[in-house]
Structure 1
Amino acid sequence: MQTRGIEMSQLYTLIRDSTNLTEVQAKILDHEQVALQFAADISKNQVYLCAKGKNSDISVILLAVRPSYTHSQTFFKAGDTFLRDELSIVENVFSTGRKVAGRMELDQGRKVAVTGYPIVDNAGVPFAVVCFVSSSLDQQQVLTDTGSLALQVPFDGKDYYGIRPQDGVIILDSLGRIIYSNDMANDLYMVLDKEAVESQEIIGHTIVRFPLVDEVMKTGRPVFGDEVSENMTLSAWGLPIISGGKVTRTVLILTDVTAIREKEKQILVKDSVIKEIHHRVKNSLNTIAGMLRMQARRAKDPDTKDALKRSVNRILGISQIHDILASQSGGQIDMDVLLDRICKLSVDSLTFCPVRVVREKGSDPLIVDSEKAVPLAIAANELIHNAIDHGFNGMDKGILIVGTSLDEEKLHVYIKNNGHPLSPEVKDMNSSGLGLQIVRNLVEIELKGSFELRNDGEFVTADIYCSRALMGA
């Protein structure tokens, strides 16, 4: 279905060029466009909006809509014109101001069923006709009547549920009695109503066990929800049809979502298990860090103390990552949220001078696969620790910039600091320290990406580039 803005433009242009309708009447037709699609879906008919042309002997098709779940072409298209005799049903609706049903023969000699309903303005004057056209001559009037009534209600596009062939459709009257039910709805509803199962007929039954229907009738607003019965879960959508300020009919759409809900439960269980694993890994790492702290306090050699201290910081950094992952849900992680936490925790725990952290983010969230987020976060954490330990060592203050960006092919994470520049030895990755070796291995082996460390003006810059597709970004 086309967007509302495009339809409005086409409809207004056609009304202005082909009819004598007023601005108010044109707005009434414009407000009915979303409801027109629903009318086509619920009636299983092609629906046409017709009006008299500038020449009153001519009828103009203003809008043509087919059911959204079909792919066939409409019999007519917007802009088609017909003489009065060719669309006699439309002329009869204008003459009587009432619903008219009949048949029409197409050019190919094929007959179709047509039911026309008047559309009236605020003065009660018919100024347009909505026609329901079915290739079957056994047109179900309860469906076309419901579709016509739906056009009289302000219809918000966000409330519209696109009806599909596999959906069960039930229509209720103002007392909650079933006046229509398709075959799919019969099978689904009999799971809920044992009396209907015994009689094998649900038409005329008052619907049972549906608080959703009571809410629709009480509030006069669309309602969504699930109904669970024994081993079946039904997704339900109720739409009120309002006339004279009262709910005169309710359209109930039922869909069997048992398998979907079961899969959702499995995903929730899996997500909970993964969170618990991250939580336990964090606790284990904290325990290890505590043991290393004790060993560092007892160590007498300064180099040993320093090595143990670095190991503790590295382990705590990885622990922080698992703590963050334990608080996020699903198979994908917002990398920017992860980096925000890493920056804050690292600066709070490691810095010995004031450090201003600058976070640079792209316009879109940096969402990556959770399995790839861990090595990427560990690498970024190592580089942030490296910038704080070495870059700002002995300085009065510093600037740390941590940024992310995406292009069509690459994911880019960069860490910059305005601390001490790189020495020639550090630039040589093969002879650099353990931290940079860890980063290089994680990026190049685990993430199949590239890593570069360089002096860039007043900043030392570390760049990580990874394939966007591989990262699931």
Structure 2
Amino acid sequence: MAFTDPLRSIKDFDAGDAEWLHLLVGDWQLVADLGFADLLLSFPNRVISAEDSPTGSAIPAPDSDFTVLAHARPTTGPTVFHKDMVGEMIPAPDAAPLRSAWVDQRIERFKLTATEAQPAESILVVPLVRNQRTIAVVSMTLDQHFGRPMSQMKTVYRETAEDLLRMANEGTWPDFAVRSDSRRGAPRVGDGMMRLDAHGRVAFCSPNGLSTFRRLGHEGDMAGANLVSIARSLDVRGNGVDETIAPVLAGTMPWRGELEAGNVSVTLRAIPLRRGTSRTGALLLCRDVTELRRRDLQLVSKDATIREIHHRVKNNLQTVSALLRLQSRRMTSEEAKHGLQQAMRRVSSIARVHESLSHDISEDVDFDELIRHQVKLAVETASSTQTVRTEVHGEFGRLPSKCATSMALVINEIAANAVQHGLKDRNGTVSLEVERLPDIFNEDGDVRRVIEVTVSDDGWGMGDTVIEESGASAFRQAGDGEGLGMQIVRTLVASELEGKIRWQPREGGGTCVVIQAKFSV
């Protein structure tokens, strides 16, 4: 259940209000860290609708309890609440400040008297007002050391946290228009924090923030400095200080950016601070992500190398297949020609798996697209004079590359065998059907996916004989009437696919080959 469900159930609030709360909760860890405080998002259990309210907007009922919908703890200091407060009820007498702040739409501060079991706490109650309507209440509970003298850093941090909450009260933060950045390495409060004034000069810089800019190559103090000017004095790589990064350094736009100087990469995030319509300054977070970017580059390089290897293997296998095809055309013996054609088909089957892997950084293969072409190719290669249709039903999904190669070879051999022996120079249909069976959960927690593949033909059939093989019985020499293909099938099913294979009559005539295979997910 989403924490905004109580809000959605009341007609006075719309989907935009719920989405705005999701944005707030998605970013309010920043406020908890700056304020060294716990944050609770609360909502009344009983609401008087706007049409019945004396204020003209939805308000809590006078005797309404409040329920905590979300809870954030600071990572920069101790928590006040040692249990998860989500779902906890705040009784009506204790919730009086929450109701007062909701109705008046003003921030309220009050203190709880210390007891033997509970130290003194200072609580800031912030009504979240959007489109002139209160939609929830945030309370910031400060730790028991709040009354003691604080360092300059703690003072600036806490003032900044309260500025963000004041903007939330005014409905100006978080901003729907802020563009998101999916790259890893978003800066956090503990990584480095600066407070800029209305002119974009540094009013305060945390020790970690100073260290970050020292790594970029800046020497000297940061207080009173202009970050845009500092960045232009550095050996900035790429496009330098362009129109994208400059507003972030100046704190004028709520954007994220990345600054690279020398061999150092730093991510930056700016949040303009406003009072009403006037900009009062900005919060700037910075983080050294040099090692993170180096690892990203290694991963990209590794992925590109793996794709290139698969591509070259595919090319080499296609070359081998082409050579086998040329050699088969020169054979005068039908047996030799047939053997080379079978080898060509098997090599082509493996090549198609590597071709699929060369287009995707994943180690899994989209097997459905691959096998449709493979079955058609196997049937066309095996059929010389007859016309054979192919049908594929069901979906394999994505298979691990190791299993995909084995499964492709097995299906290739069985489809070809169905044409050569099942149909025996007559027209017909070869069908492939796949069904996913219930997963198997091992004692060690490993999950094994199970699929059942049925390859059938409407040919001459095999009588009433049913043959099933798995495990050790599959590892044997080819018997009478069996070729290399069936030996390959039995071995791959038993070893690589950890399954079993069964030959049985098909209802209506013909033969069915049923394969059960297991693989890790």
TM-score, normalised to structure 2, is: 0.68
- Equivalent of 1:8, from 5, 27, 32? 5
Q: How far has the Cα of 1:296 moved from its partner? A: 2.7
Whether 2:79 is the aligned partner of 1:73: answer no
Match of 1:187 in 2: 211
Match of 1:460 in 2: 511
- Tell me which amino acid in the other structure corresponds to 1:141: E
Match of 1:264 in 2: 296
Distance in 1, Cα, partners of 2:18 & 2:309:
58
Q: How far has the Cα of 1:171 moved from its partner? A: 5.3
Aligned pairs for 1:96-107 (under 5 A) are 99=107, 103-107=111-115
- Tell me which amino acid in the other structure corresponds to 2:414: L
Match of 2:399 in 1: 368
Distance in 2, Cα, partners of 1:41 & 1:381:
57
Match of 2:93 in 1: 82
Whether 2:489 is the aligned partner of 1:439: answer yes
Q: How far has the Cα of 1:434 moved from its partner? A: 0.9
- Tell me which amino acid in the other structure corresponds to 1:444: A
Whether 2:326 is the aligned partner of 1:275: answer no
Distance in 1, Cα, partners of 2:499 & 2:94:
70
Q: How has the CA–CA distance of structure 1 residues 158 and 389 changed in structure 2, closer, same or farther, with 3 Å as cutoff?
A: farther
SS at match of 2:503: strand
- Tell me which amino acid in the other structure corresponds to 1:73: K
Q: How has the CA–CA distance of structure 1 residues 193 and 408 changed in structure 2, closer, same or farther, with 3 Å as cutoff?
A: same
Q: How has the CA–CA distance of structure 1 residues 402 and 246 changed in structure 2, closer, same or farther, with 3 Å as cutoff?
A: farther
Match of 1:141 in 2: 159
Q: How has the CA–CA distance of structure 1 residues 400 and 225 changed in structure 2, closer, same or farther, with 3 Å as cutoff?
A: farther
- Tell me which amino acid in the other structure corresponds to 1:386: N
Match of 1:417 in 2: 456
Q: How far has the Cα of 1:134 moved from its partner? A: 1.1
- Tell me which amino acid in the other structure corresponds to 1:360: H
Q: How far has the Cα of 1:43 moved from its partner? A: 3.8
Aligned pairs for 1:149-298 (under 5 A) are 149-151=167-169, 152=171, 153=173, 167-170=191-194, 172=196, 175-178=199-202, 182-192=206-216, 194=218, 197-199=219-221, 201-202=222-223, 205-206=226-227, 208=231, 209=241, 212=244, 214=246, 223=255, 226-237=258-269, 252-298=284-330
Q: How has the CA–CA distance of structure 1 residues 177 and 375 changed in structure 2, closer, same or farther, with 3 Å as cutoff?
A: farther
Match of 2:445 in 1: none
> 102-111 or 203-212, which moves further after superposition?
203-212
Whether 2:119 is the aligned partner of 1:110: answer yes
- Tell me which amino acid in the other structure corresponds to 2:164: T
Q: How has the CA–CA distance of structure 1 residues 243 and 336 changed in structure 2, closer, same or farther, with 3 Å as cutoff?
A: farther
Question: 1:43–1:147: 8 Å Cα contact kept in structure 2?
Answer: no
Distance in 2, Cα, partners of 1:133 & 1:231:
42
Question: 2:187–2:267: 8 Å Cα contact kept in structure 1?
Answer: no
Q: How has the CA–CA distance of structure 1 residues 170 and 404 changed in structure 2, closer, same or farther, with 3 Å as cutoff?
A: farther
Q: How has the CA–CA distance of structure 1 residues 27 and 48 changed in structure 2, closer, same or farther, with 3 Å as cutoff?
A: farther
Q: How has the CA–CA distance of structure 1 residues 42 and 271 changed in structure 2, closer, same or farther, with 3 Å as cutoff?
A: same
Distance in 2, Cα, partners of 1:393 & 1:141:
85
Match of 1:380 in 2: 411
> 415-424 or 431-440, which moves further after superposition?
415-424
Distance in 2, Cα, partners of 1:273 & 1:90:
61
Q: How has the CA–CA distance of structure 1 residues 348 and 300 changed in structure 2, closer, same or farther, with 3 Å as cutoff?
A: closer
- Equivalent of 1:32, from 21, 41, 44? 21
Structure 1 regions of 5+ residues with no counterpart?
A: 17-21
Distance in 1, Cα, partners of 2:19 & 2:345:
65
Q: How far has the Cα of 1:418 moved from its partner? A: 2.4
Distance in 2, Cα, partners of 1:37 & 1:148:
17
SS at match of 1:439: helix
Distance in 1, Cα, partners of 2:498 & 2:18:
57
SS at match of 2:491: helix
Whether 2:34 is the aligned partner of 1:46: answer no
Q: How far has the Cα of 1:94 moved from its partner? A: 7.3
Q: How far has the Cα of 1:224 moved from its partner? A: 5.1
Question: 2:428–2:457: 8 Å Cα contact kept in structure 1?
Answer: no
Q: How far has the Cα of 1:120 moved from its partner? A: 5.0
Q: How far has the Cα of 1:64 moved from its partner? A: 5.9
Whether 2:365 is the aligned partner of 1:333: answer yes
Q: How far has the Cα of 1:237 moved from its partner? A: 4.9
SS at match of 1:81: coil
Q: How far has the Cα of 1:451 moved from its partner? A: 2.5
> 435-444 or 369-378, which moves further after superposition?
369-378
SS at match of 2:220: helix
Deviation track 1:245-265 (CA, whole Å, cap 9, x = no partner) reads 787665555444433433333
Q: How has the CA–CA distance of structure 1 residues 315 and 230 changed in structure 2, closer, same or farther, with 3 Å as cutoff?
A: same
> 132-141 or 209-218, which moves further after superposition?
209-218
Q: How far has the Cα of 1:435 moved from its partner? A: 0.7
Aligned pairs for 1:301-320 (under 5 A) are 301-320=333-352
Distance in 2, Cα, partners of 1:351 & 1:227:
63
Question: 1:321–1:374: 8 Å Cα contact kept in structure 2?
Answer: yes
Structure 2 regions of 5+ residues with no counterpart?
A: 45-58, 232-240, 441-448, 469-473
Whether 2:400 is the aligned partner of 1:403: answer no
Question: 1:383–1:415: 8 Å Cα contact kept in structure 2?
Answer: no
Distance in 1, Cα, partners of 2:16 & 2:305:
55
Q: How has the CA–CA distance of structure 1 residues 104 and 378 changed in structure 2, closer, same or farther, with 3 Å as cutoff?
A: same
- Tell me which amino acid in the other structure corresponds to 1:461: C
Distance in 1, Cα, partners of 2:194 & 2:368:
47
> 273-282 or 71-80, which moves further after superposition?
71-80
TM-score, normalised to structure 1, is: 0.74
- Tell me which amino acid in the other structure corresponds to 2:83: Q
Q: How far has the Cα of 1:437 moved from its partner? A: 0.7
- Tell me which amino acid in the other structure corresponds to 1:434: L
Match of 1:19 in 2: none
Q: How has the CA–CA distance of structure 1 residues 111 and 392 changed in structure 2, closer, same or farther, with 3 Å as cutoff?
A: same
Deviation track 1:177-204 (CA, whole Å, cap 9, x = no partner) reads 445655544433443461xx411x4576
Deviation track 1:290-348 (CA, whole Å, cap 9, x = no partner) reads 33334333333222222222222222333333333323323222333332342354456
Q: How has the CA–CA distance of structure 1 residues 210 and 384 changed in structure 2, closer, same or farther, with 3 Å as cutoff?
A: farther
Q: How far has the Cα of 1:459 moved from its partner? A: 5.1
Q: How far has the Cα of 1:438 moved from its partner? A: 0.7
After superposition, the CA RMSD in angstroms is: 4.6
